[in-house]
Structure 1
Amino acid sequence: MTLISFFGNALTAYGPALAVFLLYVARNAQLVILLMTSAFFWLLSILFSSVFWYLIKPLQNVPVGTIFVAVTLQELFRFLFFKLMSKAEKGLNIIAKTPNSPLNRPANAFVTGLGFGIMSGLTLYLSQLAESAGPAILACNSCPGMDVFFVGALTTCLFIFLHSVWNMVAFDGWYRGQWLPFGFVMISHYAASYGTLLTPSSIEYGCAIALLIDFVILIVCTTLAVRPILVS
């Protein structure tokens, strides 16, 4: 039974992102390189977060502070990656399959955000996924009818695609010289991350509320991400 749970959680967490990678990203070597590069940038953000966590002792016992530092550094590295992308954009367009397509920017933003999300999902959930293959399941405090591993799988899946649309929204704003979209991305990232604290809490249906928060943010950010494409 736990083996079935393991594969079910794995496909729930990573299946949709894997499908997008195989059906879209893997067909284009340039997009694969962009995805891998952005994934490395996310790893750098977590490396610096770990350094802060290790050096600032009070953070080690305060999840709220740890989340604040981690999210802030992730968004900082999102901006740094955008600066790198903007420097390389001319060369990327030259070797693109459609050099003059107006969809190049949103496509690159989506793929690099997917790289952020996939690496985030692998780093934060993989160890928990491995535990789900153990001899038993672990009931969720806030939702006794669900186990922690499945809630984590759903959360991981949502965050992978949240990073994708966050990238699209932030990049579109930066390309237009506007910081308001990035401000919204940062606030929504804080909201989604802090919402995960409801899952292990004693609040009734806390995990459902946390997932609902993430899902609503995903819908809103997706609407903001595709709107410039539809307008153009």
Structure 2
Amino acid sequence: MTLMDFFGCGFLAFGPPLAMFALTIAVEPIRIIILIASAFFWLFSLLVSSIVWYAIVPLRTYLAVGLVYSVIFQEVFRYLLYWILRKAERGLEKVTTAHVADSRHVFAYVCGLGFGLMSGAFALVNVLADAVGPGTMGLRRGNEFFFIISAATTLAFILLHTFWGVIFFSALDHKKWGQVAWVVGSHLFVSAMTLLNGISYQAISLSASYIILLITAALAFTVAGGKIQNIINCFMKK
């Protein structure tokens, strides 16, 4: 049973992102390199957040404060990744078959997925390790839905980081500060909503996360040049 929990939650959280990786990123080596680089940038943001957390002792007792500056550091490093990627465009032209200027949304998507995968790995690996056994939460201690809620939340954050990457990069290119504010604000909001899990309001937290995910996905689709009519036409052909 514990093994079923492990694989079920693992596939729920990482199945769709890994499918996205296999179908859209693994086909071109430069995308894999950018994905790995973006994952390291997320790690750097975590390192800086950890240093601040250890350095400022009074803040350790306030989880909400740590959450805020952790999100801020993630967005700062997202900007640094954007800046470096734009500076490296000439070099990328020499190692990729696609025209970089036409692939900006693709690279933004790759960077966002790299952020999300690393974020999800750190959020869920320890939980999955506990899910293997020798027992799982439930009955008289803990919540029997702890593992599946953790997996569903992790999936939401991985996809959100992917869409945030597309919106953030495009917004900086076109100086649309409202979209930048949406990325940072929604990141703070969804992260703050996870604090409700500690007081048994998981349904509210998860619902809010997926509502924001749907809105962000629609915005990213529009930013990348997609049109609702194209989706309708696609379904009509089928």
TM-score, normalising length from structure 1?
A: 0.91
The list of structure 1 runs, each at least 4 consecutive aligned residues, that deviate by more than 6 angstroms after superposition, is none
CA contact 2:166–2:224 (8 Å) conserved in 1:
no
Partner of 1:220: 215
Partner of 1:151: 149
- Per the TM alignment, residue 231 of structure 1 is displaced from its structure 2 partner at its CA by 6.1
Aligned-pair identity in percent equals 37
| Alpha-carbon separation, structure 1, partners of 2:76 and 2:107 | 18
CA contact 1:140–1:148 (8 Å) conserved in 2:
no
Partner of 2:11: 11
* Equivalent residue in structure 2 for 1:182, among 151, 171, 180: 180
Task: List alignment gaps of at least 5 residues for structure 2.
Answer: 228-238
> Is the alpha carbon distance of 1:100 and 1:58 closer, same or farther for their aligned partners in structure 2, counting shifts above 3 Å?
closer
CA contact 1:158–1:215 (8 Å) conserved in 2:
yes
CA contact 2:89–2:100 (8 Å) conserved in 1:
no
Q: Which has the higher mean CA deviation after the structures are superposed, 53-62 or 33-42?
A: 53-62
Partner of 1:138: 137
Give SS of 1:199's match. helix
| Alpha-carbon separation, structure 1, partners of 2:225 and 2:184 | 24
TM-score, normalising length from structure 2?
A: 0.89
Amino acid across the alignment from 2:51: V
Partner of 2:111: 112
Amino acid across the alignment from 2:216: C
| Alpha-carbon separation, structure 1, partners of 2:206 and 2:43 | 24
- Per the TM alignment, residue 140 of structure 1 is displaced from its structure 2 partner at its CA by 10
Task: List alignment gaps of at least 5 residues for structure 1.
Answer: none
CA contact 1:140–1:200 (8 Å) conserved in 2:
no
Give SS of 2:99's match. coil
Give SS of 2:136's match. coil
Deviations 1:15-46 (A, max 9, x none): 11111111221111010000000000000000
- Per the TM alignment, residue 227 of structure 1 is displaced from its structure 2 partner at its CA by 0.8
| Alpha-carbon separation, structure 2, partners of 1:214 and 1:185 | 13
> Is the alpha carbon distance of 1:6 and 1:174 closer, same or farther for their aligned partners in structure 2, counting shifts above 3 Å?
same
| Alpha-carbon separation, structure 1, partners of 2:70 and 2:95 | 35
Aligned residues: 226
Partner of 1:161: 159
Amino acid across the alignment from 2:45: S
